[in-house]
Amino acid sequence: MLLRLSLLLTTSHRGLTNAYIYPGEYLWTDKAAFCICHRNNDQPSEYIETKAREELKAAQGILDIAEPEILLEIAICNVEDKSYGGYPGGPWLFARVCRKWKAVALSSKALWSTVILNNTFLSSLNLRKKAQVVLLEQLRRSGSMPLRIYLNFEDVSYSKSTMRILTDVVLQAFRWKSFEFHASVMFFHYMYLKVEHCLPILEQINLRITDTGTLSKNDGTYLMFSEAPHLCDVELDTNSSDPFDLPFPQLTRYINHFNRDKSHS
């Protein structure tokens, strides 16, 4: 399995002065083994694998003596805002490297606080059932940590199993710190009925309607974010010029792709 790395780790922790982990490359696991590979698109896969094996010897020595805090920093840097590969990813892959890494993962609530659900994993009833199990376990492991939520429901059917997943996420609205949601308009209406203005720590939203539906001031959804005391960053693409009652005086960034003349930054 592949897990994208986007990190350059430097630390003086316990003698690891300027320890260097290859940035922007790949880490993959085979239960108790891993490789850090310098990716070169101009080279054949055989070269990449050979290069990885060579780099493993140098990198593994550093990681074997790294304290849990250092391993956790590596893991958190690998939790992406969006998932482009298979689900589950992020902390689940990190926990599979070895027993030590698994212990680090299970002891850190922050590592599980980024929740990613792509439409790829919601395309069938069987996948949705599996996704819900993983989602509930991740929410449990994240404890009471603030959540970063990314949901892509584009082309996802409006079904009971889908709504159960959305409900599980929405019931944690009081923990949302950032919320990105791509979905048809009917999902927005359903979400409003569950949120009930319970967004005490929400700071960022990125919302996109993926069908031809629109939101208006006559919808209950209009007031969904009106009582978010810490909301400061808003990006909208909703087929509506004024889809939500927003606390504009406190916003530091506002982009409405429907009406660019109304954008502020």
pLDDT tens for 87-111 read: 456 677 677 767 777 888 888 888 8
Outline where the chain has alpha helix (H).
Answer: 45-65, 68-77, 91-95, 99-107, 125-141, 160-170, 185-195
With contact defined as beta carbons under 8 Å apart, do 98 and 32 qualify? yes
Percent of the chain, pLDDT > 90? 30
Task: Give the Cβ contact number of residue 64 at 10 Å.
Answer: 9
Report, as an integer, the average pLDDT of 47-74: 63
Q: Which residues contact 111 (CB under 8 A, 6 or more apart)?
A: 72, 75, 76, 79, 90, 91, 94, 105
- Lowest-confidence region among 57-66, 116-125, 156-165, 244-253: 57-66
Report, as an integer, the average pLDDT of 210-236: 88
* CA 136 remoteness from chain centre: 15
Predicted structure pTM score = 0.72
Its sign, for the CA torsion 80, 84, 90, 94, is negative
Exposure of 2 by Cβ count < 10 A (0-12 exposed, 13-18 middle, 19+ buried)? middle
With contact defined as beta carbons under 8 Å apart, do 25 and 5 qualify? yes
| Per-residue DSSP letter, 264 | B
- Lowest-confidence region among 37-41, 95-99, 189-193, 259-263: 37-41
105: its two tokens: 């993962």
pLDDT tier for residue 163 given thresholds of 50, 70 and 90: very high
Q: How many Å apart are CA 28 and CA 197, to the nearest integer? A: 41
Task: Give the Cβ contact number of residue 138 at 10 Å.
Answer: 20
pLDDT tier for residue 121 given thresholds of 50, 70 and 90: confident
Q: How many Å apart are CA 23 and CA 15, to the nearest integer? A: 21
Set out the domains of the chain in order of their start, with CATH numbers: 1-108 (no CATH), 113-265 (3.80.10)
* CA 57 remoteness from chain centre: 31
